[in-house]
Copies of this chain bind each other. A is one copy, B any other.
Amino acid sequence: MGIRRGAAVADPGYADDKQAVLRRLSRIEGQVRGISGMVEDDRYCIDVLAQISAATRALQAVALQLLDEHLAHCVVNAVRVGGDEQSEKLREASEAIGRLVRS
């Protein structure tokens, strides 16, 4: 239910926690920059891999937070509307969960 849905439904599901999500993403961006620094400095492969695993888990945690909020807001609203809106939002959520599980 993001902005592409028009002005009447302008807020995405994560609107309340937007600042928290942005802080987490900014920390992950720093982690990735830190990994580049380790590679620049010829740091030991295994130590670089440990940091990549940490960044991957942090990204998945943000995804799970966004998905929670999406279910609690966008999907819940779509169920109240019912019909095609409900089917469409459930299908989208399923696909997003599938991508997360496989990535």
Contact = CB atoms under 8 A, between A and B. Distances in A.
Contacts of A26: 36
Nearest to A71: B90
Interface residues of A, number: 71
A42 B3 contact: yes
A8 interface: no
**In the A-B complex, the 3 residue pairs with the closest CB atoms:** A2-B44, A45-B70, A79-B79
Given A2-B47, A46-B92, A97-B100, 12 more contacts: A2-B45, A3-B43, A14-B39, A29-B36, A49-B66, A50-B99, A56-B103, A59-B59, A60-B101, A60-B102, A71-B71, A76-B86
Interface of A: 1-5, 10-15, 18, 21-22, 25-26, 28-29, 32-33, 35-36, 39-50, 52-57, 59-60, 62-64, 66-72, 74-76, 79-80, 86, 90, 92-103
